[in-house]
Structure 1
Amino acid sequence: MKKQSEHFLFGNETKVEDLGGGLKRQMLGFNEELMAVKVFFDKGAEGYTHKHRHSQVTYVESGEFHFTIDGEMKVLKAGDSCLIPPYAEHGAICPTGGVLIDTFSPAREDFIEE
């Protein structure tokens, strides 16, 4: 894994990765202990249900998201956030289109290109 991002990343210069299924991801900064990622959802896009070893905090920048964490579903809108503990099953559907800011500790190794 690359050890850390540059100190300054500019939104108009930082790569946006197309994940398919109406999802795109842009790295906002990371080191081995912490990572922040911007995730763009098209209208109706779904973040599939999954789990991982990382602690995660997600902030809703825009849109409406139907978030499920360990079987409990809540509707989150701009300004809302959620904590996802390690190994908790979670996913989200975005009926409106929107943007999430995900933070992970430690960093998601699988998101880093060498």
Structure 2
Amino acid sequence: MQKQSAHFSFGNETKIEDLGNGLKRQMLGYNEELMAVKIWFAQGAIGYNHAHRHSQVTYVVEGEFHFNIDGVTKILKPGDSCFIPPFVDHGATCPTGGILIDTFSPAREDFLGE
């Protein structure tokens, strides 16, 4: 894995990756221990249930998200957040379209293509 991102990241200069199915991702900053990522969901987009070894905190910037964490579903709106422990099944749907900030510890090597 690349050791770390630049100290400063400018939204209009940082690559936005189209993940398909109404999802886009922009890396905000990372090192081996921590990563922050901005995720755009188109209206109706689904972040399918999955699990990974990373601790995750997600903050809702805009839109409405239906988060399922370990079989419990809650509706999150701007200003809300959730914590997802390592190896816990989770996913989200976004009926309105919206933006999330995801943070991971340690960093998601798979997001960097490694």
TM-score, normalised by the number of residues in structure 2:
0.98
Aligned length: 114
Q: Give the whole-Å Cα distance in 1 for the aligned partners of 2:86 and 2:59.
A: 17
1:52-109 deviations in Å (ceiling 9; x for gaps): 0000000000000000000000000000000000000000000000000000000000
1:12-50 deviations in Å (ceiling 9; x for gaps): 000000000000000000000000000000000000100
Alignment partner, residue 12 of structure 1: 12
Question: Counterpart amino acid of 2:29?
Answer: G
Q: Give the whole-Å Cα distance in 2 for the aligned partners of 1:92 and 1:22.
A: 13
Runs of 4+ aligned residues of structure 1 deviating over 3 Å after TM superposition are none
Alignment partner, residue 49 of structure 2: 49
Question: Counterpart amino acid of 2:49?
Answer: T
Instruction: State the percentage of identical aligned residues.
Output: 75
Secondary structure of the structure 2 residue equivalent to 1:79: coil
Secondary structure of the structure 2 residue equivalent to 1:52: coil
Secondary structure of the structure 1 residue equivalent to 2:110: helix
Alignment partner, residue 31 of structure 1: 31
2:103 equivalent to 1:107? no
Q: Give the whole-Å Cα distance in 2 for the aligned partners of 1:46 and 1:100.
A: 13
Shift of 1:113: 4.0
